[in-house]
């Protein structure tokens, strides 16, 4: 290759590079404005845990201790006593150490009544780690503050404007459920 060809190739490469750079100026930046705009998370995103109550405020949890047994990090502590009037158990203590929790959601999979669920609130940052040793009131509060939550048994559930708890429509469900259900509905109609 002659010297002139080399020079021409260098000039051409620099020109191509500068043209590419100039095109970038007009492209939209993919920046997310997180603190001001919350990101649109997928329905199944294990950001934090919550304990759901029924619509009438009664406990959904039946205190079967399945989550305590399933927890690989052993951060769930439950104490219970027998219900004196009727069957079942009542909760004395329900603590989750959210500092040592690794958010594997094994407790959510184990729960037979979808009481313990995953929620989308990921803003758990705090100046005091003791605030993350969650007791039952904190877990109830987490559920009350969230508009939707997920458990494998019931899928995505939403809290409507008037405080009722409903199963979310198929569009909000994970795993392309809407696409699976669509042909069946068409066949029915």
Residues that bind other proteins (CB under 8 A): 14, 17-18, 21-22, 24-25, 27-31, 33, 35-37, 93, 95, 123, 125-128, 130-131, 133-135, 137-138
Tokens coding 92:
């004395």
CB of residue 14 to other proteins, shortest distance in Å: 7
Closer to other proteins by Cβ: residue 25 or 187: 25
Neighbours of 53 (CB within 10 A): 17
CB of 135 to other proteins, least distance (A): 5
Closer residue to other proteins (CB): 28 or 188: 28
- Least separation in angstroms between residue 133's CB and other proteins is 7
In the chain, DSSP assigns E strands to 48-51, 76-82, 89-97, 116-119, 133-134, 148-151, 155-159, 165-167
Q: Of the two residues 123 and 166, which places its CB atom closer to other proteins in the complex? A: 123
Q: How far is CA 150 from CA 52, 140, 168, in A?
A: 11, 15, 10
> For residue 100, which phi and psi values (nearest 5 degrees)?
-90, -10
Q: With respect to other proteins, which residue has the nearer C-beta, 7 or 73?
A: 7
């Amino acid at each position: 290759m002659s010297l002139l060809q080399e020079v021409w190739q260098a000039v051409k490469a620099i020109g191509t590079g500068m043209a590419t750079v100039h095109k970038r100026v007009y492209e939209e930046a993919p920046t997310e404005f997180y603190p001001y705009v919350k990101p649109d998370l997928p329905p199944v995103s294990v950001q934090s845990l919550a304990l759901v109550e029924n619509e009438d405020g009664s406990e959904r949890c039946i205190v079967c201790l399945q989550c305590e047994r399933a927890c690989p990090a052993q951060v769930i502590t439950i104490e219970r006593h027998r219900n004196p009037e009727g069957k079942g158990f009542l909760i004395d203590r329900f603590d989750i150490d959210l500092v040592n929790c690794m958010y594997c959601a094994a407790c959510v999979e184990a729960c037979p009544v979808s009481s313990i669920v995953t929620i989308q609130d990921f803003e758990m940052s705090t100046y005091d780690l003791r605030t993350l040793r969650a007791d039952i009131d904190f877990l109830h509060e987490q559920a009350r503050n969230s508009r939707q939550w997920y458990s494998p048994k019931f899928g995505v559930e939403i809290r409507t404007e008037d405080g009722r708890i409903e199963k979310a429509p198929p569009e909000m469900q994970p795993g392309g459920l809407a696409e699976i259900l669509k042909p069946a509905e068409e066949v029915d109609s």
